């Protein structure tokens, strides 16, 4: 398949009083057209920052972002405005991302007018109504305001606005984490239907591994700004190779009462993302860490076809010689 997005050694550092905060540190990845790449990790790992950097809502400190072969890190502001037609974002909190003074119709119409995609007001109205129907909003919502809706329908408004200009790539920044479980399922199913219908490509950011497993084709696991494991969802869930990924998967609730699954409790201090020292950033919490882990950064290498991991001891985990106690 053809690559739509490619990141080459992307870094994003923020200046803070004590030095540089390494929010995203040397990320390399690619997303193929029509694919959903899920990004998981605990709060503060840099996954949301990564999504914003991909769209240049945050300017990268260094590295290159390739969109359909074009290096958009070199684009001027006016060129990036035109690129917004192809790259959109769905934020975590739908109410915070909607203008409370605009009606639903005005919210969805705004990007159409900004990019001058309709020849007349009548064409705009027709397009807005078609988008509302596509995302499951009734016609009576046309002149309503965001505060009149629940979280699920607000997120449908956000999705309609994102789709208004026919994008190819959408960053989904925890789009269902603020919703009830039943509503989450509705929104996820809607996004999957739209992807199949419109040929969309997603970067899906979440801390909920169950949701990521359901919607994603491939999964990347982040820890303190770095990609520590990336593989197909099947490989990640059936044969994780990084100690952190193994610990994350152990925390997923299970309805199988007969299956005794031990939760792995991570202990130790979290390495500071501000001027981090050399070595693996997970070493302070890793039960398998040895001297090499504290001295040298592990590289993200291909442990087996399509399965990448950054761990000095991944071969021992692969062979079964290194396991968490049961």
**Burial state string for 29-61 with b = 16 or more CB within 10 A and e = fewer than 16:** bebeebbbbbbbbeeebbbbbbbbbbbbebebb
pLDDT in tens, 63-112: 999 999 999 999 999 999 999 999 999 998 888 989 999 999 999 999 99
Residue 322, pLDDT score: 86
Across the chain, which has 326 residues, the per-10-residue mean pLDDT values are 93 95 95 96 93 96 95 94 93 90 96 91 94 94 94 94 95 90 91 96 92 94 96 95 93 67 84 93 93 94 95 93 81
Do 249 and 231 touch, CB atoms closer than 8 A? no
Residue 256, pLDDT score: 64
Residue 188, pLDDT score: 94
- Residue 216, CA distances (Å) to 36, 299, 305, 315, 323 in order: 5, 24, 19, 26, 27
Tokens 């398998």 sit on residue: 288
The string of DSSP letters for 102-160 reads S-HHHHHHHHHHHTT--SSHHHHHHHHHHHHHHHT--GGGTT--GGGS-HHHHHHHHHH
Residue 311: φ, ψ to 5°: -155, 130
DSSP state of 93: -
Residue 103, pLDDT score: 96
Residue 98, pLDDT score: 94
Question: Kind and range of the H or E element at 237?
Answer: helix 233-238
Q: Look at the pTM and tell me if it is higher than 0.75.
A: yes
């Amino acid at each position: 398949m053809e690559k739509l997005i490619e990141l080459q050694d992307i870094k994003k550092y923020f200046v803070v009083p004590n030095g540089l905060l390494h929010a995203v540190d040397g990320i390399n990845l690619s997303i193929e057209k029509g694919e959903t790449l899920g990004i998981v990790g605990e709060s503060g790992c840099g996954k949301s920052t990564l999504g914003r950097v991909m769209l240049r809502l945050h300017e990268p400190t260094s590295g290159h972002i390739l969109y359909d072969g074009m290096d958009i890190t070199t684009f001027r502001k006016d060129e990036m405005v035109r690129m917004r037609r192809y790259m959109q974002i769905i934020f975590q909190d739908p109410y915070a991302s909607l203008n409370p003074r605009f009606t639903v119709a005005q919210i969805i119409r705004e990007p159409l007018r900004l990019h001058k995609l309709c020849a007349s007001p009548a064409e705009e109205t027709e397009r807005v109504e078609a988008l509302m129907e596509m995302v499951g909003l009734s016609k009576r919502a046309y002149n309503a305001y965001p505060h009149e809706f629940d979280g699920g329908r607000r997120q449908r408004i956000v999705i309609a606005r994102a789709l208004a200009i026919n994008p190819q790539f959408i960053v989904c920044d925890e789009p269902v984490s603020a919703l009830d479980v039943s509503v989450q399922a509705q929104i996820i199913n809607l996004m999957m239907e739209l992807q199949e219908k419109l040929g969309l490509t997603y970067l899906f950011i979440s801390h909920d591994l169950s949701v990521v497993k359901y919607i994603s084709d491939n999964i990347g696991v982040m820890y303190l700004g770095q990609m520590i494991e990336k593989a197909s969802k099947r490989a990640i869930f059936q044969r994780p190779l990084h100690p952190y990924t193994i610990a994350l998967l152990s925390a997923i609730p299970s309805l199988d009462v007969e299956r005794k699954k031990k939760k792995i409790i991570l202990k130790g201090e979290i390495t500071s993302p501000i001027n981090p020292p050399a070595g693996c950033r997970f070493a302070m919490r890793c039960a398998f860490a040895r001297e090499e882990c504290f001295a040298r950064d592990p590289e993200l290498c291909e442990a087996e076809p399509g399965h990448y991991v950054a761990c000095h001891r991944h071969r021992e985990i692969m062979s079964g010689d290194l396991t968490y106690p049961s």
